[in-house]
Chains A and B, each alone.
Chain A
Amino acid sequence: MNAIEVSGLVKRFNGKTVVDHVSMQVAEGEISGFLGPNGSGKTTTIRVMCGLLTPDEGTGRVLGYDIRRDGLKIKREVGYMTQRFSFYEDLSIEENLTFVARLYGIHPVVDAVRDTLEDLGLSSRRKQLAGTLSGGWKQRLALAACIMHKPKLLLLDEPTAGVDPKARRDFWDEIHLRARSGLTVLVSTHYMDEAERCHRIHYISYGKLLASGTVPEVIAGAGLVTFIIEGGDVIRAARELAGRPGVEQVAPFGLSLHVVGTDRAALESAVRAVAADTGATWHHGETGLEDVFIQFMAKSTDNMA
């Protein structure tokens, strides 16, 4: 059974379609990445999935429950971590966790809170007010709070925004550890390295789901060809490449240049000509996830404008 199975979801706000016929599945025990630029509808889609928003169209089941009718049951078995820190800043870590434990009816509360504090290494700071915590600790508290009722599905909305690399690494280790014991995770992110840590990814832009699959599948599905130009005058090469037939992206990476396009023949002839002009060498490169996403963003039209 799929933990998440939605089809044709549509959500409009004041006539603007924010989620546009999104269908996707997330298998049980899988870590799914939800990617897309800002304002692409990731948060709205996640909110629909956990019953915080009612879809205007479409159907869906989360953990086997209907998202329209069984919102309450979904809430009890899903852990949702909001994008913005949304625990009580004027309560301590321990008080926040106690509140959450009581709301979910966890027994006995004291043990559950103590275990969660230990589990996530929060014991030493349990008396500290949540409002005085740094970004990394707030994120840790939020994660602790949304997994303490042992949900079957975690919905994480940009959990690592504004968190340092070490805390991000720890966070992902924690997520993988839990996925191994059967937890399903849907996590939205902007970071490519995080996307590559997911079993599958879903790319959404301006409300439309553009691609779903494993990272290699998504890259292959985009049908992009990448050439790398090295040496010579890279800046001049970039200027000359821009606008040539077949060239869709030119991005400098240090002393090299990634040139990306869909039409292999046209791209290759453009690269060959410019490399010869600027005295550089060129070779076939591997297309990365980032190249694919930039391509998606350039192509999808902005319906918000």
Chain B
Amino acid sequence: MNTLFSFRRLMAMIVKESIQMRRDRITFAMMLGVPLMLLILFGYAINQDPKGLPAALVTTSQDRYTRAMVSAMENTGYYRFDHVVASAEAADRLIKSGVVSFVVTIPSDFARRVQRGDHPQILIEADATDPSVASGAISTLGTVAAQALLREQSAEALAARQSTAALEVVVHRLYNPEGVTQYNIVPGLLGVILQLTMVMMTSMALTRETERGTMENLLAMPASPLEIMLGKVLPFLLVGAVQVVAVLAAARFLFSVPFVGSMSLLLASILVFVLALVLLGYAISTVARTQMQAMQLTFFFFLPSILLSGFMFPYRGMPAWAQVLGEIFPLTHFLRIIRAVMLKGADIHDVTSPLIALVVFVLGFMLLALARFRRTLD
């Protein structure tokens, strides 16, 4: 008999492993379902040349030249004017909180200057924290706007040729004028790193007890579900704190990412974010039956959140349904906060809604975990 290799023994192993694989329903479903889901999701959602980006229009006049400019810009497909505001302050608030990616300002004397042939100007302020968002929209702009103006003028222009005034489009790349990718990626990385480690570690919290057989004993002792939950997740806040210090220091000293906002606001937001993550991990551990399943569920959650949160690809560039889907990840909201605070100097009013979203996640995951927790072995 062959001691090195036997086909029968190999078959025995293969059959045994196949049976075990089939018995593990969650794993089986994930192996088949997840790749398909990810393919469909990302195949449609990810767009490296984002169009239809939200923009705010600052204008006080309603003349035909202004209308012509607006419709020309909308026709490029890059701009979607969701907000029309009268003051620069209101527009500033919108771009700072990330509601819009562009602010287009058409000065009140625009029409008069066109008619006089006196160098009409429009101002485009782009949120350049994510350089890829702004590039396409800005590069097409000069020619499109000039052509539109020419078309609008043509009737009179033929009569008075002198007045085909040269249009000047002034572009301000806000927050990241040089278009440095690291400014966008490094703060985002803090969110991603925290998410990966916090969720993965806490997702094993209960499955480890179950697998080692210590769960029965823990349940037989007078510890309440809330105590068990908090006792399991709070130590990770310390781990998170170490990571935060490391990443922020690296951002500052290795990548020279500017930090213009309030440190205390950022730290408070990080605390809420990390709480949401550890509670999410714990909620996963109340669902998974083994550590292996916990790991799989974590990754199942991890990949979509990276791709749909705006970490790798512009959030505003995704189709509406993908943006809605992106809202279910705490990372999406955290990225809005950290980019706004670090790069744009946003204050608490600018980031209220993502902050509230994170608090809702904390409460939601907590309730889910408590509802799923079984005090008995039934």
Contact = CB atoms under 8 A, between A and B. Distances in A.
Contact of A82 (B217, B222, B378): B217
A52 B223 CA distance: 13
Contact of B378 (A54, A88, A103): A54
Given A53-B377, A53-B378, A80 B220 contact: yes
Given A103-B221, A103-B222, A103-B223, A86 B376 contact: no
B222 A76 contact: yes
A104 interface: yes
Nearest to B224: A72
A269 to B, nearest CB: 53
Interface stretch (B118-126, B169-177, B183-191, B208-216): B208-216
B375 interface: yes
Nearest to A85: B213
Central interface residue in B212, B217, B221, B223, by most chain A CB within 10 Å: B217
B214 A88 contact: yes
A75 B376 contact: no
A108 B212 CA distance: 29
Interface in A68-119: 71-72, 75-76, 78, 80, 82, 84-89, 100, 103-105
Contacts of A75: 220-222
Name the interface size band of chain B: 10 to 19
Given A86-B217, A88-B214, A89-B212, A51 B222 contact: no
Nearest to B214: A86
A51 B376 CA distance: 7
A80 B173 CA distance: 68
Name the interface size band of chain A: 20 to 34
Contacts of A89: 212
Contact of A87 (B214, B375, B378): B214
A223 B221 CA distance: 43
Interface string B346-378: 000000000000000000000000000001111
Contact of B216 (A54, A71, A82): A82
Interface string B73-90: 000000000000000000
Interface string A27-62: 000000000000000000001001111100000000
A221 to B, nearest CB: 33
B221 A52 contact: no
Interface string B37-80: 00000000000000000000000000000000000000000000
B221 A87 contact: no
Contacts of A53: 376-378
A53 B378 CA distance: 5
A216 B282 CA distance: 53
Given A53-B378, A86-B214, 7 more contacts: A47-B377, A52-B377, A72-B222, A75-B220, A82-B216, A100-B221, A103-B223
30 contacts: A47-B377, A51-B220, A51-B376, A52-B216, A52-B376, A53-B377, A53-B378, A54-B376, A54-B378, A71-B376, A72-B222, A75-B221, A78-B220, A80-B217, A82-B216, A82-B217, A84-B213, A84-B216, A85-B213, A86-B214, A86-B215, A86-B216, A86-B217, A87-B217, A88-B214, A100-B221, A103-B221, A103-B222, A104-B221, A104-B222
Interface of A: 47, 50-54, 71-72, 75-76, 78, 80, 82, 84-89, 100, 103-105
